[in-house]
Amino acid sequence: MARVLVVSLNYKTAEMTLRSMRAALRAMDGMDAELVVVDNASGDGSFERISQAVSSEDWAQGVPIRVVQSGVNGGFGAGNNVGMRAGMSDGSAPDYVYLLNSDAFPAPDAIWQLHDHLEGHPEAGFAGSYIHGEEGDAHVTAFRFPSIWSELEGAVRFGPVSRLLSGKSVPIGVPKATQRVDWLAGASIMMRHSVLEDIGLFDETFFLYFEETDLCLRAARAGYETHYVRDSEVAHIGSVSTGMKKWTRIPGFWLDSRWHYFSKNHGRGYAALATLMHGLGGAVWRLRVLVQGKTPSPPPHFLRDLLAHDLKALFRPLPGKHKAAPQRVRVAAELETE
């Protein structure tokens, strides 16, 4: 039986993470699997709360759980990298790594479905779940890779253009059956460890957003497919740690991540052209808002912030090699001996 390392990343959501952990343990039943929970430098007592629950609550007894600290909040990718680097408790590498958001709750067979799919499809390096809200509403989590044309299509919001560029739009809707996709949101995704050994872990330059897109693109360029597995179902609340639903302005880290994705994978010239296409589409949309009395879409000042950010980034010196997150992890048991 293949060995699975389940990684859950917590940031200031201890009670939610404990709920997700309980769902994950039910879904791990019968597997040769271990759970690693990474507290991403929450600083709010999350590490102690989760560690205490693991050591004392009935549901956590007799199951392989480790609670570790990242040491610094380097973002989504860096935090998950800490968990993946931890490996299995005996020091060996797993066959598969399964990433589960702290606000995601797998159905009892959800992890098994991904495991069995990868076992039966050697061409697939990554496999991700069908994600739905707690009320059963389907979430769009399957996508095409971003391009200059997707930037235009997404910004212009004009039916004839969208129909013309329908094959370039980043969201592909909610597939009704298992299929190959370009990339998947990272709320529930299983990855072959051998693929990660080949292409590397998350690029820690991304603090938040675009890190899954980049990882799936690197896998695709190395010849590995990403599959959406419809029968693996996971409930997801979404944006609990990031606060995205309450944004009143696009944060700088999102703009940084978008620019890094395009410039890293396609070059600065392409990144600038992508921004130009987005600006063109956005200008057309804003003209229609004025002429037709449409309701402006949030967040405010997005186009201005995007153009100003990317103009500065275009002429910024090329970044040096990104410093990886600390290799050492602090295990819950260490708290008891310090």
State whether the Cα torsion 197-181-162-131 is positive or negative: negative
Given this model, what pLDDT does residue 320 score?
Answer: 57
Chain position carrying tokens 């100003």 = 308
Compute the residue count for the chain.
338
Same domain for 154 and 300, yes or no, is no
Using DSSP's 3-state secondary structure scheme, residue 130 falls into: strand
Residue 14, both tokens: 């201890």
Q: For residues 219 and 271, state if they share a domain.
A: no
CATH of the domain at 128: 3.90.550.10
Q: How many domains does the chain have?
A: 2
In angstroms, the CA 123 to CA 14 distance is 37
The tokens describing 209, both together, are 């957003």
Degrees to nearest 5, angle at CA 234 with 233 and 237: 145
Are the CB atoms for 265 and 214 separated by under 8 Å? yes
Residue 296: predicted pLDDT = 79
Q: Do 195 and 276 have their domain in common?
A: no
List the structure tokens of 52.
């205490």
Tell me the C-alpha distance between 316 and 311, whole Å: 9
Q: 319: pLDDT confidence band, cut at 50, 70 and 90?
A: low
Query: Is 276 in the same domain as 178?
Result: no
pTM: 0.91
Compute CA distances 144 → 31, 131, 311, whole Å: 32, 17, 26
> Do residue 127 and residue 263 come from a single domain?
no
* Residues 111-118, mean pLDDT to the nearest whole number: 98
User: What's the rounded mean pLDDT across residues 204-226?
Assistant: 97
Exposed, middle or buried, 122 (CB in 10 Å: 0-12/13-18/19+)?
exposed
What is the distance, to the nearest Å, from the Cα of residue 330 to the centroid of all Cα atoms in its chain? 23
- Confidence tier at 230 by pLDDT (50, 70, 90): very high
* Structural domain span for residue 191: 3-246+321-337
Q: Which two tokens stand for residue 270?
A: 């392409």
Largest CA distance in the chain: 68
Q: What are phi and psi of 23, to 5 degrees?
A: -65, -40
Does 220 share its domain with 275? Answer: no
* Helices assigned H by DSSP within 87-176: 110-120, 148-156, 159-164
| Average pLDDT of every residue of the chain | 91
pLDDT of residue 246: 59
Is pLDDT above 90 for 260?
A: yes
Element holding 281 (H helix, E strand): helix 268-292
Average pLDDT over residues 72-90: 97
Lowest-pLDDT range, 25-34, 62-71, 206-215, 234-243?
A: 234-243
Query: For the chain, what percent of residues have pLDDT higher than 70?
Result: 91
Shared domain check, 207 and 284: no
Whether 156 and 75 map to the same domain: the answer is yes
Q: Is 290 helix (H, G, I), strand (E, B) or coil?
A: helix
Over the stretch 172-199, which tens digit does the pLDDT of each residue have?
Answer: 999 999 999 999 999 999 999 999 999 9
Q: What is the pLDDT of residues 3-55, one digit of tens each?
A: 999 999 999 999 999 999 999 999 999 999 999 999 999 999 999 999 999 99
Say yes or no to pLDDT of 239 above 80: no
- N- to C-terminal Cα separation, the chain: 37
Name the band, by pLDDT with cuts 50, 70 and 90, for residue 327.
very low
User: Within this chain, do residues 295 and 230 fall inside the same structural domain, yes or no?
Assistant: no
Q: Are residues 220 and 107 in the same domain?
A: yes
The DSSP 8-state label assigned to residue 267 in this structure reads: -
Task: Tell whether 227 and 271 lie within a shared domain.
Answer: no
